[in-house]
Amino acid sequence: MAVKVTNGKKSTPQATSGLTISHVIRVLGSIPEDARDPPWIFVVFRHLWELSCLRLGGGVHMQHLRPICLAALICIPLAASASAEDGFSWSYPADSLTVLKEAKTPFVANAAGKISENWTFISSSFEKVGVPTESFQRSMNHNRLLLKAAAAEPDSDFSSILMEDVEDDLSIKANYINNAVLFNPSSYSEVAIEVRTVKKGKEVNGYFVGFSPRHLAGDDPMFRFNNPTSPSSGSLPPGRYEMTAMWNGKIVQRQEVSVGIFGQGSNTVTFLVP
């Protein structure tokens, strides 16, 4: 089994105690016009997260953040014109990790060291076998942007959230490559996955599944399988994801899944749907 799944969660909107789109617009309006680097998106998320903590009285969990982040995601297309260096480049993020290794927050500094080690291992592994798939590069680029955002304010709570996500994702990628049986770019880059949807103990059909890095959970998955369940099959870069089940174009269930944690063995995921 190469997939680890946590309990499924319905995509029921969470209360945000009066947090509305006007708050989002207010925060976005404070961003300078020349701020066109993608990490500003995550700065927006951080400000909204702090606002939600204030309104919810602390103790906010990740599931509370989804409605807020979804509102901010309307602005992501604006980042498409970012500089070319923010394309599918996944070179070692030296500038970000230098800052993060010197953070005063022990967790952030320690995570930066582990991320640095795993990033170097992943990079050197592909240097020996060839160029990774576009999906793998896209996944690594997402991690690079998260590190850049974390380095902007390395000792913030939001930075710790980002660092945890990147550390977990890279750890899975590094372990997957280290345990690979075949030594080529495709084998290092992709994990074959089969998803079966189950309702009340019986397998059901007709759901489309999508996957996004855990931090980017939303209504538009980064990766989608084109064939409906059950089963639905495809391939993904190893890592941590939020998996979504879609029915009639709407997300009806969410479930966290770790892809590739046990190497290249069986890769079947059971997705419990409502």
pLDDT, one tens digit per residue, over 71-113 is 444 344 334 333 333 434 578 999 999 999 999 999 999 999 9
pLDDT value at residue 264:
64
The hierarchical CATH code for the domain 3-10+187-272 is 2.60.40
pLDDT digits (tens, 9 = 90+) for 106-130: 999 999 999 999 999 999 999 999 9
**248 within 8 A of 231, measured Cβ to Cβ:** no
Going by C-beta distance under 8 Å and a sequence separation of 6 or more, which residues neighbour residue 130? 184, 185
Task: Pick the more confident residue, 185 or 12.
Answer: 185
pLDDT value at residue 56:
46
Task: Pick the more confident residue, 4 or 142.
Answer: 142
**129 within 8 A of 148, measured Cβ to Cβ:** no
The pTM of the whole model exceeds 0.75: no
Q: Where are the domains of the chain?
A: 3-10+187-272
241: tokens are 């994801």
Q: Is the pLDDT of residue 19 over 80?
A: no
CA dihedral over 61, 64, 68, 74, signed as positive or negative? positive
pLDDT value at residue 214:
77
Alpha helix (H) ranges present in the chain?
Answer: 21-29, 39-56, 62-72, 94-101, 106-129, 134-152, 157-178, 185-189
Which of 1-15, 45-59, 104-118, 122-136 is the least confident region? 1-15
Q: Is the pLDDT of residue 62 over 50?
A: no
pLDDT value at residue 28:
46
Neighbouring-strand partners of residue 247: 250
3-state DSSP assignment of residue 204: strand
3-state secondary structure 76-126: HHHHHHCCHHHCCCCCCCHHHHHHHHCCCCHHHHHHHHHHHHHHHHHHHHH
pLDDT value at residue 20:
45
Task: Pick the more confident residue, 250 or 61.
Answer: 250
pLDDT value at residue 47:
54
pLDDT value at residue 220:
82
pLDDT value at residue 266:
60
DSSP class of residue 22?
H
- The structure tokens 């190497």 sit at 263
Question: From CA 118, how far away is CA 166, in angstroms rounded?
Answer: 10
pLDDT value at residue 42:
54
pLDDT value at residue 262:
73
User: What mean pLDDT value characterizes the chain?
Assistant: 76
pLDDT value at residue 197:
94
pLDDT digits (tens, 9 = 90+) for 150-209: 999 999 999 999 999 999 999 999 999 998 888 899 999 999 999 999 999 999 999 999
In angstroms, the Cα distances linking 32 to 15, 29, 37, 73, 154 are 30, 8, 11, 18, 21
